[in-house]
Structure 1
Amino acid sequence: MKIYVETERLILREILPADIDGMFELDADPAVHHYLGNNPVKSIEQIPAIIEFIRKQYVDYGIGRWAVIDKRTNDFLGWAGLKYITEEQNGHIRYYDLGYRFIKRYWGKGFATEAAIATLDYGFNTLGLKEIVAIADCQNKGSNNVLRKVGFTFTNVFEIDGVPHNWYALAKNPSKHQPCKITS
C-alpha cells in the first residue's frame, strides 16, 4: 500500500480492493451524488470495477484519486486527489483535475479542505505541475466554498449534460503551497 500524503488528521493513500465497503457506502448514497449527475451505484458488485478504474490511472498516468483515511480511527472517509483528464472538457484537454468525495457523515468537518490543500501541495511540489483545475456544480455551495478557500480562481461557467458548472484554475505559487509531510 502506497501512502502519498499525510496531514495532521488524514492519510491519503492508494485506493485498494479492500476499500470496497467504504466505496460502496460513498457511491450508493443519493445525497453524495446529488451534484454528480444523480446516479449512485445500485449494488456493491459495481464497486470492484470503479476501484480497478482508479487503480489503472495510477499505472497509466502516475496519479489518481486517493483513499482518505482518518488517522485517529483508521476509517475510510472518502476519496480525494488528482485525476489526469484526457477527454475534452470546457475547451481543455490533458489537464490535472482536483476532486474529492466524502461519505455524508464526514461532511462539514474540514476534511475536504485539508485533503485539497495536501493534494495541491503534492501536485505542485512533488509532481511539478504548473496548473491544477477543479470543477463544481454551480449549486454545490460546499464544494465551491472549499475550492475558493484553498485558492482556486473562478474562470467561467460551462455545462455538463445541461447542468451549469463552475470551472476553476490554480497556477503554482510557491509562497502559497508549503510542503506537508509526504511519505513514499
Structure 2
Amino acid sequence: MSTPPVPPYTPHQAGQPQQAEPSEQPEPSEQPVPADPFAVVADAVDGMREELASLGDQFRRRLLNDREARRSLDELHAALGHTREHAEGRTLQPLLYDLILLTDRVERQSGDDTQFADSVTAELRTLLEKYGMTRVPVTPGPFDPAAQEAVGTIAAVSPERVGEIAEVVRHGYRMGERVIRPQQVRVYTAP
C-alpha cells in the first residue's frame, strides 16, 4: 500500500503570521470608466431612428404594393364588367331584336283597337328598356348616317330643308351607345 505524498512545509502552517499577498485589484488607470449617460441615450436614440426609418420604408413599400394591387383589381373589375356587358349583349340581343319586330307589328296593326295596341306597345318598350334597349329619339334636323338609314326621299319645298329628315318610317333602337337597328327615314332632296 502506498501513502499519498505530503505537501511541502510552509511557514504560515506553523503558526507564523500570514503575509498579505499582493492585491489583484487593477490600478486606478485600468479601472472601467463609467459610461457617459448622454452617450448611452444618444446610442439608443440612433438605434430607434434606424429602426423607425426601416419601419417607414417597409410601410411605404407595402402602401405602394397595396395601391398597385388595388389598381390591378379595379382594372380586372372593369374588364369583367365590360366582358359581362358584351356577353349579355350577345345573348340578349337576338331576343331583344325579336321584341323590336313584335313592337313594329303591333304598331302597324293598331287600326281598330288603338288602346289595346298602344298598351301592348308600351309594355314591350318597357321590357326592352329594362334590358338596356332604347329607341333612337326622333329629332328634326340633318340626316345622321351613324344612327339612321335612308329608305326614301321626298322633294323639299325649300332649299334649306335639303338633307334633313322628312319623316321616320321605322324606329331605330340602340343598346348603350351601340346602334342595334338604325332608324329608317325619308330624307328631303332637291326638287
Using the size of structure 2 for normalisation, the TM-score is 0.24
Higher helix proportion, which one? 2
Higher strand proportion, which one? 1
Larger Rg: 2
Using the size of structure 1 for normalisation, the TM-score is 0.24
